[in-house]
Chains A and B, each alone.
Chain A
Amino acid sequence: MWPAVALSLELATVTTFLLLLLGVPLAWVLARANGFLGEAVAALVALPIVLPPTVIGFYLLLLLGPHGPIAPLLGLRTLAFSFTGLVIGSVIYSLPFMVQPVRNAFRGLGPAPWEAALTLRASPLDAFFSVALPLAQGGILTGIILSFAHTLGEFGVVLMLGGDIPGRTEVLSIVIFNDVDNLQWGEAGALAAGMAGFSFLAVLVMFLAEKRMARLRA
């Protein structure tokens, strides 16, 4: 049970970190794009929200597996059934949970603070880091919490892409599934309760933080 907890936490942490690096700039670009192309990319990013995880897992397996195009490029036999594969899958699976709130936060700012920064000698890059990013911190915090919690509870994609290798790809939700399969209701119950409790706390923290920030800005 504990190796799975550690693995899930590690996966969620690495994924969330990568999503910050990747998702925030992407959200910025999508927040400012108002053409058809922008919306099309945004829709593609949002796809994991509505697509069954097994479908995503299936395509990722084709993409990252031994016959896919990615692994040979990296000189590997396969990316499937590895931690790296899980990270790639999780990043794609949780991408909308980072991009949506951050994009909305950037959109909510509008051009006003951005223009003000430019008239005060800030270069676009400077204005992004010193004005846009801090002002969108509420959305970024929401993105971090949602991505982390969402990755922690991942099941379908992991099962498709990672299989069920204890210590390597066997994450929390898979342990719960196996426990129930083996009629080990005690451990399943403890893990499920832990997940439910953690998720509740995460979302509660998110709501409280949002409320606090709204009050500060009012």
Chain B
Amino acid sequence: MIEAMFAGTLGQFSLDVALELPGTGVTGLFGPSGCGKTTLLRCLAGLTRLPGGFLRVGDDVWQDGQRFVPPHKRQIGYVFQDSRLFAHLSVLQNLRFGLLRSSEKHMLRSGEKHMLRSGAKHIAEADVIGMLGLEPFLARYPAKLSGGERQRVAIGRALLAQPRLMLLDEPLAAIDRAAAHEILPKLRDIAVMFGVPVIHVAHDMAELERIADFLVLMRQDGRIAATGPLGAMLTDLSLPLALRQEAAVVLGLTAGDYDEAYGLTLCNGPGLSVTVPARLGVGEKIRLRIRASDVSLARERPAGSSILNILPARIVEVQIGEGAHINLVLGVGEGERLLCAITRKSWDVLGLRLGDEVFAQVKAVALAAR
């Protein structure tokens, strides 16, 4: 559990937040540019000091009225947008920079025995190099790396400093899309494989839909708009997320049988099954993204439809405005939710009401993570 409270103004940014974040998984920090996401992250790292702030990570207080633990005494891993590799060191030396300084020997020597991660598993160099595919360029210098490669090294370097908390400041914003696409799942692996909680700042919601478990939504004025588990946040009609053009939900499913003849895998979640056009291994955990605009409604189960995924659903929330479209939340399976955007005219023609049993036709699903 991470507890943070920061209020104050720094230059042109003002921040006023009180947060409780889970101590596991990936937490996404999302908001318009200039809302103070980076400032908040820097406060967590101790790189920026806001007097009067409070920060507790697990049982350790890193900042309160009297105390301010300097950044080098906080067990964090920080990945900057611009990677900040040390130009005078090779990739391997960069990777070992924090590793050496977080070793037991180093800590005992500098009298920081308390910083040893009691009970935590040591994050091994070979595992990190393997996960991030760094083997081919260990001997190279940062100047000879591409943007994506640099960021992979920066992630590895931070992870090898044996952090209890990883702070990622838009690590994929400055690199090309293909490289970013490849790195994104690795950010989730930090939390899943190495058990280190991740706070990931992003300005692209699609990134967070693929990897986040928990979401913090910030407003332009440096305050928190809402926090909560990803699923609940995505389907909250009172938040701007659910009303976006590309509003979507993610479903966590387990892959079942693969239909060789058609190249489809049947994936199962609580009380529902979805056919996914991909070859997946039986038992594989996947994350499926379904856009509101890809879901349409029918009163009766449609016969003779080309759409494969037709799910019995119930209208659990609706927001009707003056515009042509209305936004709905549908309950499917056992407690899962879908977003659906239909025209106000369709709503009236079908005579739909809150609580009605309907059929949700899902035109397309996208594999968000596997």
Contact = CB atoms under 8 A, between A and B. Distances in A.
Interface string A106-117: 000000110111
Given A123-B110, A131-B86, A216-B141, A118 B70 contact: yes
Interface residues of A, number: 22
A123 B102 CA distance: 12
A119 B158 contact: yes
Contact of B86 (A116, A123, A124, A216): A116
Nearest to B73: A121
A134 interface: yes
Contacts of A119: 45, 47, 71-72, 76-78, 98, 158, 161
Contacts of B80: 112, 115-116
Nearest to B112: A121
B72 A112 contact: no
B88 interface: yes
A120 B45 contact: no
Q: Secondary structure of the A side of the interface?
A: helix
Contacts of A120: 72, 97-98, 101, 157-158, 161
Given A121-B102, A135-B88, A216 B143 contact: yes
Given A118-B47, A217-B87, A123 B72 contact: yes
Contacts of A118: 47, 70-72
Contacts of B76: 119
A10 interface: no
Contacts of B143: 216-218
Interface string B165-178: 00000000000000
A120 B141 CA distance: 19
Contact of B84 (A115, A124, A127, A217): A115
A126 B101 contact: yes
A121 B116 CA distance: 12
B72 A121 contact: yes
B125 interface: no
Interface string B73-107: 10011101010111110000000011001100010
Contacts of B73: 121
Interface in A90-142: 112-113, 115-124, 126-127, 130-131, 134-135, 137
Interface string B120-151: 00000000000000000000010100000000
Interface string A129-169: 01100110100000000000000000000000000000000
Interface string A193-218: 00000000000000000000000111
Contact of B87 (A121, A127, A135): A135
Interface in B213-272: none
Nearest to A124: B72
Interface of B: 45, 47, 70-73, 76-78, 80, 82, 84-88, 97-98, 101-102, 106, 110, 141, 143, 157-158, 161
Given A115-B80, A131-B86, 5 more contacts: A119-B45, A120-B158, A137-B88, A216-B143, A217-B143
